[in-house]
Structure 1
Amino acid sequence: MPPQLPFFVYGTLRPGGRNHARHLAGRCTGTLAATLEDTALHRGPGYPYALPDTGREVRGEVLTVHPALYGQVLADLDRLEDCTADGTGEYVRERLPVRLDDGSATDAWVYLAGPRVAARLRAVPDLVASGDWHRR
């Protein structure tokens, strides 16, 4: 099993989002506002995608999952995001540094657009200018 890192969430997995209620509510021990730097937020069909992009940033939260529930939550989120072991799914999960609002930093799991989706988004970008899915 990969390390039990917190998750940086920026779309429907954020508190108040439809997938947060289904997959994360009651399973987290902490929530902190954070920013993922050098990443752009793109609109998808009802949900966002994050892609590396120098100079842009994505707003979200870092969620710490209860240790006893971590394996199940990780499997649930990988399935939800179609994150496959071979890296060809709709999303890929990467360990990335995020900046917390208090100025400190931590590593977190981040779901980024997978290769096919990333190619499509780069060809026809539809950016969320604010970098904040809740403010789109």
Structure 2
Amino acid sequence: MMPQPTHAPGVRHVFVYGTLRAGGRNDIARFAPLPRRVADAEVAGTLYDLGAYPGMVLGGEGRVAGEIYAIDAQVEAALDRLEEVADDDSGEYIKRWLRVQASDGRAFDCLVYEIHPSRIEGRAVITGGDWIAHSRR
């Protein structure tokens, strides 16, 4: 079980970097109850093109652009299903906690969905780390 960060009861934050971003195919604003956009942010990582969506591996020298949203447990459960998270970390994505610094300087403990390492073999790196810009090319 993942440790829960300290925050308002029932509220957690998520960093989204792919199709869940504003304007994306799975825009997080389509979920209910409506997630609240908190800030833009970047995290250290490498973004991979998996075809219809990206996957991110955390760490390294690269930067990945995204957005921070305040969500509740119902939205988190829906995101877990969408990202095919498994309790034993064998799913398509692995849910992690990461301290994320927003573009305005505030810091948030965020859920981040990191792609399972087995899914990126032979996949192209998205230069610039911005899925929205990449998918509009």
1:130 — aligned with what? 128
Alpha carbons 2:28, 2:35 under 8 Å: kept: no
1:54, distance to aligned residue in structure 2 (A): 1.0
| Correspondence for 1:36 among 43, 54, 58 | 43
2:75 — aligned with what? 73
Letter of the aligned partner of 2:51 in structure 1?
P
1:99-114 matched pairs, under 5 angstroms: 99-114=101-116
Structure 2 residue matching 1:50: 3-state secondary structure = strand
Cα distance in 2 between the residues matched to 1:7 and 1:26: 14
Letter of the aligned partner of 1:59 in structure 2?
A
Alpha carbons 1:43, 1:127 under 8 Å: kept: yes
Alpha carbons 2:50, 2:123 under 8 Å: kept: no
Q: Given the two structures, how large is their TM-score scaled by the length of structure 2?
A: 0.82
Alpha carbons 2:33, 2:75 under 8 Å: kept: no
Identity %: 35
Alpha carbons 2:41, 2:103 under 8 Å: kept: yes
CA deviation digits over 1:35-66, x for unaligned, max 9?
A: 112x101100210000024111100000112x
Which structure 1 segments of 5+ residues have no match?
none
Q: RMSD in angstroms over aligned alpha carbons? A: 2.0
1:22, distance to aligned residue in structure 2 (A): 7.0
Alpha carbons 1:88, 1:115 under 8 Å: kept: no
Q: Given the two structures, how large is their TM-score scaled by the length of structure 1?
A: 0.83
Letter of the aligned partner of 2:125 in structure 1?
L
Which structure 2 segments of 5+ residues have no match?
5-10
Letter of the aligned partner of 2:109 in structure 1?
D
